[in-house]
Amino acid sequence: MFFFVASVAQAQTANDIIERVSMIRFIVDNPNGQLVYRQTKNWCTDFLEFDESQTTTMNNLFNSQYIDIALAYKKYNETYSRESLQMLLKTIVQQEFYFRKLLKVSQLESYKAKLDEAKGDLENSKNKAYNTLFISEEMLEKYVAED
């Protein structure tokens, strides 16, 4: 398990990590952080057109994810240790796997295509949020291969 966690930090560039932690800091430090997190995730995935059941499931998932992210971020913010950063990144990766499991096949394909598209235009605020709150297929493949 330690090898998996260590590889998470190595698989990302310094800018990727800084961008992700900065976005998480912005959200967690907000007095309405849980709402902001859920709304931002919903905003980023609005093109997937969730059915009613999925909408409820995703809102519950995003609320739960916020709690996990907030706890991991606060631990990191207290210590700034490599271990706490790795736990924060591991939390993000696990959340990506959970999210993808809830998507229908057609949604997953659209989602992957959107991630690829978003990488090309990081000046767009939605793409920037998308790239910091979700993880690309290539990065997930690295994690699975190194686990």
Residues 47-63 pLDDT 10s: 999 999 999 999 999 99
pTM of this structure: 0.84
Kindly indicate the confidence band of residue 113, based on its pLDDT and cuts at 50, 70 and 90: very high
Q: What domain range includes position 107?
A: 2-146
Q: What's the pLDDT score for residue 143? A: 65
Instruction: Retrieve residue 29's tokens.
Output: 């430090």
Q: Note the pLDDT tens digit of each residue in 61-102.
A: 999 999 999 999 999 999 999 999 999 988 999 999 999 999
Kindly indicate the confidence band of residue 2, based on its pLDDT and cuts at 50, 70 and 90: very low
Number of structural domains in the chain? 1
* Across 118-138, average pLDDT: 88
Q: Note the pLDDT tens digit of each residue in 17-34.
A: 888 999 999 999 999 999
Q: How far apart are CA 54 and CA 10, in angstroms?
A: 33
Q: What's the pLDDT score for residue 32? A: 97
Give the burial string for 93-107 (b: 16+ CB within 10 Å, else e): bebbeebbeebeeeb
